[in-house]
Structure 1
Amino acid sequence: MANLTASDSLQTGVTYLSVYSQIYSRSEHRTHDLTATVSLRNISSEDAIFVTRAQFFDTAGKLIRTYFDQPIFISPLETVEIVIQEVDNEGGTGGNFIFEWAVNPGTPEPFFEAVMISTSGQQGISFTTQGIKIR
């Protein structure tokens, strides 16, 4: 956890990341469940970054859960991961995260990415999504 104060001269931002708990298979009436690994990456080799909120929403935009009650810091080049298990399909086909974060001036913004995967027998599927800064 990190203790941030109003007097800190941090630059803040908000990033959106799409995360698929399910995808459609063969038709809109059949879905396939996925495991999602959400990576919160500090791409700076010198400064820590801070994630002040991580919220997960379902396809309808309803808040499913908040992952951090307090700000966390991520050390230089460190990655923090959130794993959404294959049996947890609450996010549905259009789930997403909203991340609020803060960095020191001149520090690269955090990088948010998700990897979705599932295997069945000898067949597997995997793909990635990347976050986009919205504020």
Structure 2
Amino acid sequence: MNKIILVITCLIIISCNPGKSDSPSYVLKVNHNRNATVNSSYHKGSTYLSVYSQVYQRNEQRTYDLTVMASMRNTSLSDSIYIISADYYSTKGKLLTSYIKSPIYIAPMETVEIVIEEDDKRGGTGANFIFNWACKDSIQEPFFEGIMTSTTGQQGLSFVTNGMRIK
């Protein structure tokens, strides 16, 4: 009986400690077989999205690290939209990563996400994205949202930002 309890306890402890992942500091939650050709007659635009890899805590010398999720949403019930590029910039305006190398499509009512892990501090307190996109004139433009989260002990922090069309 004691051996069974010991095995169960060990399994619980192991399952609660996933360890450090060998994955990159970001995850693009998209099927990579989605490469698409954008019709030249489609309506094109650019959207700016502010995100925060860190926020100030107590004073400007202390920062609190956050996980960032940049959410790209297609609100159309009938047509795909196309994301041409998704560029991530630091607080100082330095291009950090271009997440999309060639256009991808997002199916009707689908969401595609870019996740930047909490320990990736490159963006800083004023990180941002520029998304270039295309869609038919007859459908709603894509919706971009930033979700920042973190938890420490029993305290959690989360907030949202919305994209702003710039072109």
Asked whether the two chains share a fold, i.e. TM above 0.5, the reply is yes
| Other-structure match for 1:72 | 104
Cα distance between partner residues in 1 of 2:74 and 2:56: 32
| Other-structure match for 1:96 | 128
| Other-structure match for 2:149 | 117
TM-score, normalised to structure 2's length?
0.78
Residue 125 of structure 2 aligns to a residue whose secondary structure is helix
**Greater relative CO, 1 or 2 (CA 8 Å, sep 6+):** 1
Cα distance between partner residues in 1 of 2:76 and 2:47: 17
Answer 1 or 2: which has greater helix percent.
Answer: 2
Superposed CA offset, 1:64-88 (max 9, x none): 0000000000000000010000000
**Aligned Cα root-mean-square deviation (Å):** 0.7
1:25 corresponds to 2:25: no
Amino acid across the alignment from 1:117: T
| Other-structure match for 1:3 | 37
| Other-structure match for 2:69 | 37
Size of the aligned set, in residue pairs, is 133
| Other-structure match for 2:89 | 57
Superposed CA offset, 1:104-131 (max 9, x none): 1111000000110000011110000000
Amino acid across the alignment from 1:24: Y
What is the percentage of aligned positions where both structures have the same residue? Answer: 53
Runs of 4+ in 1 over 3 A off after TM superposition: none
Answer 1 or 2: which has greater strand percent.
Answer: 1
Cα distance between partner residues in 2 of 1:91 and 1:19: 8
Give the C-alpha shift of residue 58 in structure 1: 0.1
Structure 2, gaps ≥5 residues long: 1-34
Amino acid across the alignment from 1:84: I
TM-score, normalised to structure 1's length?
0.97
Structure 1, gaps ≥5 residues long: none
Give the C-alpha shift of residue 3 in structure 1: 1.4
